[in-house]
C-alpha cells in the first residue's frame, strides 16, 4: 500500500483559529477561550482535526471545483450522501450513514483515506497565549466588558493519504468497509421483487449503478474501482489544496494566513508518518528543527520509502525568522541517501503531487 505522508507548519502570529467558547467549568465566565490540551506539565493551544478538515474540504471546493456531498440531518445525526462516485469528498474524507426507513436498517461506512492530526502549537500556552480585554461600546448606555484569548505561535500538523484507497470502494460487511448499499440490503417479497418500503434504497442503488457505468467503474464482487485518471485527479488535488488552504475563526479581528509556511512530503509503503513527533520542538522559547532526528528516522525506514525522495518547501521569511539553515538541513537529510527536493512551499507541493500522479500510471 502506498501513502502520501506529509507535515506542515502554519504561522499564527496573532490568531484565534479554533475557539472553545465560554468554559462553563471555570469561575470566570466572561472569557472566550481557545482550545488547549495538556501534555506533561504544559498546556498547548490546538486546532481540532475536524476544523482542519473543514478548511481542507472547503479549499478543494473553492479552488478545484469539487462538488461537495450535501449534508442531511435526522434528529441528532448529520451525515453526507455517502456517494463516493459522485462526490469526491465522500471518497477522500470518508463517511458513515445509517438508512433507517420503512423498517430497513442499513449502515454504510467508509474509512477516510485522508488522515490528519490536529494542528498543535509548538509553543506551550505560557509562551503563546494572552487575553485581550475589550469593551463593547457602540450601543447607548454603559460599555459591556468582554475578554477573549488569542495566541502567537506556530502550529504543526501531519497528514497521510492512502493512495490505494482513493477511488476504491469495498462491499465487505465490516465496519469501515461496507462503503455502499447493495441489492443484498433490499428486502424482497416472495417473488424476489423489492418490497415497497425499500423504494428509497432501490433508487439510491440504481443511481449508483448508472453513475458507475457512466464513469467506467470496474465492478467486482467485493469492490468497485474508479478509472485511474479520476483517482489520480482526486489524490493529487487533495495534496495541492494545501497551497491554498484558508479558514479559521476570528479572521475578522485577527486575519491569519493559514497557508503552510513549511512543508515536508514523501511517499511511503506503510501506514506510518515519520513527521509526526519531535522533529519540530520548542527550546527556551525558540522553535527548532531536528534534522538529525528526522534523518535517522528516514534512514531506519529506507526499505519502505519507494522513491527515496523527500520534498521540502519553505517560505524564506518564515525560515529566516526562526534562524533555520535550509542548506544545512538539506545536507543532513541527503546524508540518508535520499534525494531532497528544495523549493518554495508551492513548488514542493506541486512536485510532490506529480509524484503522486505517477503512482496511478
* DSSP output for 271-340: S--TTSSSSEEEETTEEEE-HHHHHHHHHHTGGG-SS-EEEEEE-HHHHHHHT--HHHHHHHHHTTT-EE
- The strand ranges marked E within 137-279 are 144-162, 168-170, 218-219, 223-225, 262-268
pLDDT at 162: 98
The predicted pLDDT at position 31 comes to: 85
Residue 40 C-beta-side C-alpha neighbours within 13 Å:
3
Lowest mean pLDDT among 59-73, 134-148, 216-230, 260-274: 134-148
The answer to whether the Cα torsion of 317, 321, 327, 329 is positive or negative is negative
pLDDT at 261: 98
What pLDDT sits at residue 169?
Answer: 97
Question: How far is Cα 347 from Cα 312, in angstroms, rounded to an integer?
Answer: 9
In a domain, 335, yes or no: yes
Tell me the mean pLDDT in the region 196-220.
Answer: 91
CA distances from 214 to 87, 179, 358 (A): 14, 19, 25
Residue 58 has pLDDT above 90, yes or no: yes
Mean pLDDT of the chain: 94
**Does any domain span residue 28?**
no
Q: What is the pLDDT of residue 54?
A: 97
How confident is the model over 1-33, as pLDDT tens digits?
999 999 999 999 999 999 999 877 777 777 889
Confidence of residue 197 (pLDDT cuts 50, 70, 90): confident
Task: Please check the confidence at residue 46 and state whether its pLDDT lies above 80.
Answer: yes
Structural domain contains residue 314: yes
pLDDT, residue 293, reads 97
Which residue did the predictor score with more confidence, 349 or 144?
349
pLDDT the model gives residue 4:
98
**Is 285 a member of any domain?**
yes
Domain range enclosing 336: 1-17+121-127+153-163+227-360
Alpha-carbon distance values, 48 to 55, 63, 121 (Å) = 11, 23, 11
Q: What are phi and psi of 147, to 5 degrees?
A: -140, 145
Residue 332 maps to a domain? yes
**pLDDT tier, 74 (very low <50, low <70, confident <90, very high otherwise):** confident
Dihedral in degrees, nearest 10, Cα atoms 46, 51, 56, 62: -130
**Could you give phi then psi for residue 111, rounded to 5 degrees?**
-70, 130
CA 247 – CA 256 distance, rounded (Å):
9
DSSP 183: G
For a pLDDT cut of 70, what percent of the chain falls above it?
99
Categorize the per-residue pLDDT at 317 as very low, low, confident or very high, splitting at 50, 70 and 90.
Answer: very high
Residue 39 has φ and ψ, to the nearest 5°, of: -135, 120
What nine digits make up the cell of 303? 526499505
Q: Find, among 51, 170, 25, the residue nearest to 120 by Cα.
A: 51
- Per residue in 116-131, pLDDT tens? 999 999 999 999 999 9
Rounded Cα distance, 349 and 360, in Å = 18
Total number of domains constituting the chain: 1
pLDDT at 141: 86
Distance CA 280, CA 264 (A): 12
Confidence of residue 193 (pLDDT cuts 50, 70, 90): confident
Q: What is the CA radius of gyration of the chain?
A: 24
Q: Which three cell numbers stand for residue 67?
A: 462538488
Q: What is the pLDDT of residue 69?
A: 97
> How many Cα atoms sit within 13 Å of 299 on the Cβ side?
12
pTM confidence score:
0.94
303 assigned to some structural domain: yes
Please list the residues that pair with 33 across neighbouring strands. Answer: 21
Rounded to an integer, the average pLDDT of 144-163 is 94
Average pLDDT over residues 56-68: 98
Distances in Å between the Cα of 268 and the Cα atoms of 161, 271, 357 are: 10, 8, 14
Under DSSP, the state recorded for 144 is E
Torsion of CA 31, 36, 38, 41, to 10 degrees: -60
What confidence tier does 187 reach under pLDDT thresholds 50, 70, 90?
Answer: confident
Using pLDDT thresholds of 50, 70 and 90, give the confidence band for residue 194. confident
Within-domain flag for 137: no
pLDDT higher than 80, residue 103: no
Please indicate, yes or no, if residue 136 is contained in any of the structural domains.
Answer: no
Amino acid at each position: 500500500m502506498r501513502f502520501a505522508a506529509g507535515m506542515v507548519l502554519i504561522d499564527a502570529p496573532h490568531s484565534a483559529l479554533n475557539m472553545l467558547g465560554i468554559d462553563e467549568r471555570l469561575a470566570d465566565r466572561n472569557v472566550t477561550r481557545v482550545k488547549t490540551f495538556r501534555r506533561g506539565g504544559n498546556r498547548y493551544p490546538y486546532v481540532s482535526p475536524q476544523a482542519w478538515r473543514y478548511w481542507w474540504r472547503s479549499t478543494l471546493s473553492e479552488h478545484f471545483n469539487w462538488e461537495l456531498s450535501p449534508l442531511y440531518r435526522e434528529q441528532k445525526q448529520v451525515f453526507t450522501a455517502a456517494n463516493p462516485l459522485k462526490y469526491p469528498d465522500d471518497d477522500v474524507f470518508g463517511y458513515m450513514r445509517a438508512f433507517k426507513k420503512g423498517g430497513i436498517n442499513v449502515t454504510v461506512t467508509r474509512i477516510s483515506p485522508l488522515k490528519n492530526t490536529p494542528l498543535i502549537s509548538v509553543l506551550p500556552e505560557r509562551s503563546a497565549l494572552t487575553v485581550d480585554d475589550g469593551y463593547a461600546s457602540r450601543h447607548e448606555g454603559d460599555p459591556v466588558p468582554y475578554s477573549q484569548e488569542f495566541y502567537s505561535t506556530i502550529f504543526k500538523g501531519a497528514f497521510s493519504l492512502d493512495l490505494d484507497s482513493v477511488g476504491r470502494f469495498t462491499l465487505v460487511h465490516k465496519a469501515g468497509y461496507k462503503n455502499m448499499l447493495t441489492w443484498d440490503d433490499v428486502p424482497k417479497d416472495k417473488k424476489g421483487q423489492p418490497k415497497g418500503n425499500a423504494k428509497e434504497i432501490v433508487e439510491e442503488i440504481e443511481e449508483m449503478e448508472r453513475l458507475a457505468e457512466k464513469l467506467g467503474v470496474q465492478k467486482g464482487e467485493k469492490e468497485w474501482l474508479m478509472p485511474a485518471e479520476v483517482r489520480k485527479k482526486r489524490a493529487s488535488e487533495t495534496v495541492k489544496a494545501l497551497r491554498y488552504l484558508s479558514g479559521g475563526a476570528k479572521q475578522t479581528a485577527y486575519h491569519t494566513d493559514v497557508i503552510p509556511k513549511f512543508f515536508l512530503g514523501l511517499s511511503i509503503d506503510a501506514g506510518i508518518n515519520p513527521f509526526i513527533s519531535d522533529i519540530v520542538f520548542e527550546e527556551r522559547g525558540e522553535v527548532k528543527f531536528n534534522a538529525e532526528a528526522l534523518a535517522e528516522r528516514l534512514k531506519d525506514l529506507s526499505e519502505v520509502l519507494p522513491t527515496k525522495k523527500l520534498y521540502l518547501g519553505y517560505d524564506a521569511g518564515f525560515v529566516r525568522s526562526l534562524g533555520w539553515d535550509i542548506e544545512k538541513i538539506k545536507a543532513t537529510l541527503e546524508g540518508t541517501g535520499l534525494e531532497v527536493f528544495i523549493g518554495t512551499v508551492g513548488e514542493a507541493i506541486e512536485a510532490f503531487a506529480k509524484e503522486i500522479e505517477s503512482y496511478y500510471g
